Amino acid sequence: MQRMSLLFLMLLSITITWAGAQSQPKGLQPPPGGGINPTDKGDDKDLTPSKSSKDNYISSVGGRGLNEWMADLKNADPSVRERAIRAVVMFGPLASPSIPTIIERTNDKDGSPRIRAVMALGMMELADRDIPKVVEALVRRISNEPQAVIRYQAMISLARFQPIDAKSAIPPLAKEVEDQNTWEIRKLAVSLLTSLGYDDTKGPDPIALKGLITALKDPAIQVRQEAVFGLATIGRPADTALAASVKNAFTGLMNNPDKGIAIWANVGLINLDKPDGKLLANITKHLDDTRADVRTLAARALGTMGKLAEFSVPELSKALNDKEPEVQMTVIWALAMIGPASSKALPNLRELADNKKTLEPVKQTAQMAIGQISGKPEGTLAPKAGFPDSKAPSAKGSNPADPGNKNKLP
């Protein structure tokens, strides 16, 4: 695994959220005390792992070896099966032989071992040969699972996979966009459609696009926000009719009362066609907003557009003087993403980096941006996602708006 610098980790921690971070949605919480609760430790106190003195791997859990726990995966008692899944996961890489049986448990008649198996497949180390079957099992749960909490967990586990491995999940995810159990499921479905639907060769997946367009009409503001961001960053549709539908949707949202939706709608219109001074001004004006989170969001949007936002460099240079460090760092990042066209901002960046009153994280970010813009990088500021708060870990490496994409920008 590529080692990330402290600064990169710090940058990923910058949030421009409209809502607080979440893991398990409140609307999906099962009653306490049951094994189906993903956060319930049950009797884990009896599952103490012991490491081998030779290779530092877990050699036993609760005094029992891997083979004994694997045998329990097929026990007639569902509580024993559920406990065995929790134990097997603790063996780490050595638990690879249990993957086929864990996959079987995703079809367990009892919901408790079923959700534990789905969770396990989201965290266990997988060999390449296991990925297709694991994806198939998770997609089956998203498609056929009657319990909303298990469908949600299957979507979280699916998020670890690259788009090339999980394209089969797009049709059921598009259906989940209309799930009426809870808006959190719909929001996560939209996020995954954005990640999995991106294709820089063929253009975005049409089914994913239609799902995102549907989500624009969702009654929940957070789902609509996620959908407009997805449409703005997933790429231009290859189909002209779909492209027209997306453009019409953006046009209707470009002056939306919700400033975040309006910002990303304007980004989407620019990405669909070409840089437009009026559309760009619709974004840069928010750099002067009274709310720091809106200013940060505007800078994030400009950085996401990269070279298409080069005419916003004067406004971004001015925003370097923002009183909020979070805004400053996002503005610096945006200038770095725009690239050499941000060279006119170098004097302001150097002044910020040399100022003794500048906070150290801001100073370090400015120094990295100076190097990247001038073509002498000592480190590279990575692309960011638009709304990192509520997304499950996304399929990494393809979508340029994905924080997992660590490729250097041109």
Quickly state the pLDDT bin for 11 (edges 50, 70, 90): very low
Task: Give the lowest-confidence range in 162-166, 199-203, 348-352, 354-358.
Answer: 199-203
Nearest-angstrom CA–CA distance, 402 and 156? 16
- Cα end-to-end distance, the chain, whole Å: 23
Q: pLDDT tens digit string along 217-270?
A: 999 999 999 999 999 999 999 999 999 999 999 999 999 999 999 999 999 999
Asked whether 393 and 191 are in contact (CB, 8 A), the reply is: no
88 pLDDT higher than 60 = yes
Quick check: 402 pLDDT over 70? Answer: no
d(CA 128, CA 397): 17
- pLDDT band at residue 64 using 50, 70 and 90 as cut-offs: very high
Q: What count of Cα atoms within 13 Å lies in the side-chain half-sphere of residue 248?
A: 7
pLDDT at 44: 56
Mean pLDDT of the region 180-208: 95
Judged against a pLDDT cut of 50, whether residue 309 lies above it is answered with yes
Task: Write down the mean pLDDT value for the chain.
Answer: 84
List the one residue out of 74, 75, 80, 24 whose CA is nearest residue 47. Answer: 80
Question: 36 falls in which pLDDT band (50, 70, 90)?
Answer: very low
Least confident span in 22-31, 145-154, 185-194, 266-275 = 22-31
- Name 56's bridge partners: none
Q: What is the mean pLDDT of residues 31-53?
A: 53
pLDDT on residue 397: 32
Task: Please report the domains of the chain, with CATH numbers, ordered by start residue.
Answer: 34-158 (1.25.10.10)
CA dist., res. 284 & res. 202, Å (int): 31
Number of H helices, E strands in the chain: 20, 2
Helices (H), 73-169: 78-89, 99-105, 111-121, 131-144, 148-158, 163-166
Task: Output the pLDDT for position 408.
Answer: 26
pTM of the model as a whole: 0.78
Lowest-confidence segment of 140-149, 206-215, 273-282 by average pLDDT: 273-282
Round to whole Å and give the CA distance between 362 and 330: 10
- Please tell me the least confidently modeled range out of 20-34, 159-173, 354-368: 20-34
* Least confident window among 35-44, 71-80, 122-131, 227-236: 35-44
DSSP-assigned states of every residue in 19-76: S---SS-GGGPPPTTSTT-TT--TTGGG--EEE-TTT-SEEEETTB-HHHHHHHTT-S
pLDDT at residue 359 above 80? Answer: yes
